[in-house]
Every structure is written in structure tokens, then in C-alpha cells.
Amino acid sequence: MASTYTSNTGIEKPGSGEQSGTWGNTVNTNSDILDRALNGVLTLGLSGTSTNLTTTDGTLSNGQYKLISFVGSPSGTHTVNVLPNDSQKIYFLNNTTNETVIISQGSGSSVTLPAGESDVIYCDGGGVAAAVVDLSANFNVSMHLESANNLSDLASAPAAIVNLGVDATAGELNYNNLDQPLGTSSAERVVTADANGDVNLTEELTAKSYNETFLAVTSSAGGTTVNCETGNMFSHTLTEDTTFTFSNPPTSGTTPDTYGYSFTLKILQDSPARNIIWPASVDWADAEAPTISTGSGEVDVFVFFTTNGGTTFYGFTAGQVMS
């Protein structure tokens, strides 16, 4: 009795009394076929416009692998023909080429695999009219989830959040968009943000270290503006007599002393020496502004802070005649 073969993988089934003394060759080939079918990975180079993926009875062939990675440089959209057309197959595919790959087995439906994409397909082995089905296209995640305390309602983010027992809103969970009113609906939240994207903490912030932005401000037409929204450390190289303005300090809130803000200002003197007029809102010790250093290249450092939204800045001299 002659050998027969399994219909989908081509494993040889020797007839009764056949291959006496030579079974080892058949068993070894069958073992290799099974290894390919269970966990085999094939890197299949593509060129031109078509390639055959063939399962040959009793012989090691490229159609017997479980996972197939397409590589190479096809000349355009490439068709992979699964042969024979009466063999049922499930393939895991990975298209690493720069072209679209079409998987076909007969005149029925085919599966299109774009460049750089992966997929799982089923070839139905229907003969001349064989079809290839994309098993990933209609994979329904929600049908595998229970209806309570999960993401079963994937069509509605608010419903899914409620199902998970989360009391924050969708906007409050969007950490990439801090103009959402984080924390405004729940008093116990420690991180909030206002409409300007300013983040507020209601608890202590502990950090190993942190860096501050150091900004140079310049004068124009005798005026120099320190924009408090842009940082906490500033420098200014004098090139003319100038009048300082401190703009956009944090608002004081609904009660006095809600927000405090401070900044450090480094002044580098010019040659000839230049003069500074400070904002009227600055309160210096004994109500007397310091005299700045006059030597070319000399550095003065000043510190300012406000607790009432900039109505009053307290000014301090941190160092003078520094170089």
C-alpha cells in the first residue's frame, strides 16, 4: 500500500508494510515538517511581483512554516500565492519590505498586507475558489471582557472610566493636555492645573535636584522688561540707561498671600557706566534703591519677591562689584 499524506502540512503516512528498514528517513522528514508547522520561522526574500508559498507532500518546503517574514526589494505590489489551493493554512506574517504584499490562494478573497505591517491569516483551502481571510481584522476585544468594572464599553471613554471605578474625568486623566482642569472636581487631588497650563501641587515636592531657566533680557528704547512667566533667573547687560518693568507675576488668588514668586537678576555694567530706574512697585530697605556698581564689567546681583501678584516687590541686594 502506497504512502498517503496529510492534507494541510504534507506529512507522509507510510502504507502498511511499506519502507521496511527506511522508516528513519520518513520519520526525520516528518519531524522537521512538524517543527516548521508548530514554531518554524521563515525569512522569505521577495523580488519581482510574485512568489509561491508551496506545501509539497513529504518534502520540506517553504509553505510549511508557521511565521513568515517577508524581506527584500520587490519591484512593486507583490503577490504571494499559497499552494496548493486545497490546503488549509494559518500563517503569522510580517512584511518588512517597502511594498504591499497580497496573499492569495484562489479566486476568492485575498489579504493585503501593507509595508511594515504584521497580520494573522487563514487560507481556507477551497480549491479554485479558495479564499484568504484576515483573522485580525474582526478581532473583538470587548467580547472577551466582562461587563462590569472593565473597558467593555470601548466606544465611550467616560463609560469605560466609570466601569473601571475611576472618579476622575477623561480630561483630568489626559496628562498630555494640562489645560484641562485637573483636580478641580475632587478636593483630595494633589495635582491641579489652570487654564494657562500652570500646574499646582497641594503637597510637598521632593526632588534630588532641579534646574532653572536662566534668561537674558535686553533693553529697547530705554526700557527693559522682565517677564515673570518665563522663569526665575534673569540677566541683563547694560547698553544704555534703562527703566525696568516686571510683567506677568503670578496672581495673588482670592485671598492675600496665596501665591509667592521670586526671581534673581544679574546686572553686568557697561562702559561708560549706565543707570537703572527700578519699578515703583519695588520696596527697598529704608525705601532707598541701591547704587549700582560703575566699573566696566562689574556684576551686581539682586533678588526680588512678591506675595500679592506684583503690587509690591521686595528688593534685596545679594552682591555687588562682582566680576
What ranges do the domains of the chain cover? 4-134, 141-170, 178-209, 214-322
Instruction: Show the cell assigned to 42.
Output: 521563515
Residue type, 221: A
The Cα 92–Cα 248 span in angstroms is 59
pLDDT number for residue 2: 84
pLDDT for res 206? 83
Identify the residue whose cell numbers are 509539497.
56
Residue with cell 549700582: 292
pLDDT < 50: residue spans in the chain: 148-149, 178-186, 254-257
Instruction: Say how far apart CA 219 and CA 71 lie, in whole Å.
Output: 61
Half-sphere exposure of 82 (CA within 13 A, CB side): 37
- Taking the C-alpha atoms of residue 170 and residue 158, their distance in angstroms, rounded to an integer, is 6
Q: What is the reported pLDDT for 64?
A: 95
108 with 124: CB under 8 angstroms?
yes
**What single letter denotes the amino acid at residue 40?**
G
CA distance 4 to 159: 57
